[in-house]
Amino acid sequence: MKPKVVWIFILSAMAVLGVVSWIYPADGIELSPKIKLEFAQFDELLYPEKQILLNVDSLLASTTVETVEPEFEDDRSQTRLDSALVDSQYVYFEPKQIRIDKVSQYLEFPNGDRTVLHPFFKLLASGETQKSLIRIMHFGDSQIEMDRLSGYFRAKLQSQFGGYGPGFVPAVQPYGFTLPMEQSAEGKWTRYTAYGRRDSAVTHRRYGILGNFSRFTPLKLDSGYSVINPAFIPGEETERASLSFRTSNHAKARAKQFTQCRMLYGYNRKPFQLKLTADGTVIDQKNIPAGQKPELLTWNIETNPKQVKFDFEAEDSPEIYGFAFDGKTGIAVDNIPMRGADGLSFTLMDMSMLAYYLRNMNVKLIFLQFGGNAVPAQHENYDYYRRGFAYQLSTLKRIAPEVEMVVIGIADVSKKDGENYITDPSVPLIRDALKRATLDNGCVYWDMYEAMGGENSMPSWVFHDPPLAGPDFIHFTPQGASYIAQMFYSAFMYEYNQYLSKQ
């Protein structure tokens, strides 16, 4: 093709596009409530609008993200307390205030009642963590995967109030995460969740405390799960499977150490063989009888192993609800990401089982961090979400009245608008729905959206050098997550310091 013809074609195409741009409606052509055809306007082509960015460095100036390591790495009895030890008994405690950064976004309380968190703060200040293990569970969507926020909060509290270990991990880790632990599985394991795409073959609600369970033999067709006498079941094949857990090289120092291991399981129709090895040494080997209720096995492993392995042998698999790797005292902080969840799945779980494990694992505080997965729905009104989330909170409070709850709100999420990125209009609606549900149910709210800078703040985190959020304009980078974690930690411990100042 001759150059002259090419140029004529290019100029003609540009002319046509220019005319279309000139006459095309500025608001686009709406085909349906969720589908709109848009075309760049002529003035936008000539004078494109520049992305306006917040000064993130100014926003984060008061937030110090340091490498968190235990302050008392060699003495597990030390906490952030002045104390006296007489005849192996602590006779007095003098709790100290915690040094924090300037608070950029404070916690919000129902009717301004700051005493909501006082029962938990009393546990910290009384020295209870020197005598028992106090558990904090952090549930969230994919925003908290790879121990984001949880890991920082865990490291800080364990260094100040004692405690070791990464806390809860699922039996099967489907995404290859290396935090908070490295995991591997051998055998025919299948994982079932109460959130996301639920398997229709599961006809019960027994999803343990983490919202999932795993098996190494197929589900049975009947849903009763009655205990079966092996003598009357001929011909079933014995299956062997194993689960391995290794402390992560990327974890903070105290999360790499644990002296107590617990397995949550139940509803095994038949007996199963279990062998536990730690760093290659057999710690325990036993035959577990058939049962039809939630169970909890505990092992104390004083060698502080780097790797443990569970070998199973059975004709019918038990339901494995998860494992906890902790110290015997102090603080445990669990990272429980539920990819794809909107926070409305807790009531799809067996409430009696959930209450049993919350009580027996001594859970005293729950963080709930959801909202991002409600954005794609693109509703003009999120009252349904407010009602649904309120129902989750009221149900959790009913089955575990001794557990305090803090809701960490939705982060800013961007959508493309021409050549720029703006806050998705659903985000402030979801934030308002979460906040109202939280405060109406006597829980505490922390506004991550405002902590980031509010409307249109996500691009400033994405385009920061180094980036503090990813190119999807949804998830934080590890460094960005550390800043958010420190902001939340400062807001939380500010309230603790306020509590101490009034005692």
For position 224, which CATH number holds?
2.60.120
Q: Is the domain of 341 the same as that of 311? A: no
Q: Is the domain of 251 the same as that of 370? A: no
Q: Which two tokens mark 295?
A: 């169970």
Q: Is the domain of 240 the same as that of 133? A: no
- Residue 127 is classified by DSSP as T
Domain residues for the domain of 256 are: 166-328
Q: Is the domain of 320 the same as that of 333? A: no
Cα distance between the two ends of the chain: 87
Report if residue 142 sits inside a domain: yes
CA atoms within 13 A on the CB side of 182: 10
Measured CA to CA, the distance from residue 83 to residue 227 in angstroms comes to 51
Report if residue 393 sits inside a domain: yes
Measured CA to CA, the distance from residue 351 to residue 67 in angstroms comes to 39
| Distance from the Cα of residue 129 to its chain's centroid | 23
Q: Is the domain of 190 the same as that of 312? A: yes
Is residue 438 classed as helix, strand or coil in its secondary structure?
A: helix
Q: Which two tokens mark 123?
A: 């546990």
Q: Is the domain of 28 the same as that of 75? A: no
Q: Is the domain of 362 the same as that of 398? A: yes
Q: Residue 11 has what pLDDT?
A: 74
Q: Cβ neighbours of residue 43 under 8 Å, at least 6 residues apart? A: none
Q: Which residue has the tokens 């149900």?
A: 395
Report if residue 54 sits inside a domain: no
Q: Residue 312 has what pLDDT?
A: 98
Composition of the chain by helix, strand, coil, percent to 5: 30, 25, 40
Report if residue 38 sits inside a domain: yes
Q: Is the domain of 112 the same as that of 218? A: no
Q: Is the domain of 317 the same as that of 341? A: no
Q: Cβ neighbours of residue 356 under 8 Å, at least 6 residues apart? A: 294
Measured CA to CA, the distance from residue 164 to residue 159 in angstroms comes to 9
Q: Which residue has the tokens 């539920």?
A: 338
Q: Residue 6 has what pLDDT?
A: 67
Q: Show which of 328, 349, 369 is a domain's final residue.
A: 328
Q: Residue 9 has what pLDDT?
A: 76
Structurally, the chain folds into a number of domains equal to 3
Q: Residue 24 has what pLDDT?
A: 66
Report if residue 203 sits inside a domain: yes
Report if residue 63 sits inside a domain: no
Positions in the chain whose pLDDT score sits under 50: 47, 67-92, 223-234
Average pLDDT of the residues of the chain = 88
Q: Is the domain of 441 the same as that of 357? A: yes
Measured CA to CA, the distance from residue 112 to residue 485 in angstroms comes to 23
Q: Is the domain of 275 the same as that of 412? A: no
- Beta strand 281-288 with 239-247 is unpaired
Q: Residue 277 has what pLDDT?
A: 98
Measured CA to CA, the distance from residue 50 to residue 484 in angstroms comes to 27
User: Rounded to the nearest 10 degrees, how much is the dihedral formed by the CA atoms of 390, 394, 396, 398?
Assistant: -170
Q: Residue 50 has what pLDDT?
A: 66
Q: What pTM was computed for the model?
A: 0.86
Domain with residue 420: its CATH number is: 3.40.50.1110
Q: Show which of 328, 349, 372 is a domain's final residue.
A: 328
Q: Residue 1 has what pLDDT?
A: 61
Report if residue 426 sits inside a domain: yes
Q: Residue 59 has what pLDDT?
A: 72
Report if residue 61 sits inside a domain: no
Is residue 413 classed as helix, strand or coil in its secondary structure?
A: coil
Q: Is the domain of 467 the same as that of 339? A: yes
Q: Which two tokens mark 448?
A: 């991550």
Q: Residue 62 has what pLDDT?
A: 67
> Is the torsion defined by CA of 389, 392, 395, 401 positive or negative?
negative
Q: Show which of 328, 358, 382 is a domain's final residue.
A: 328
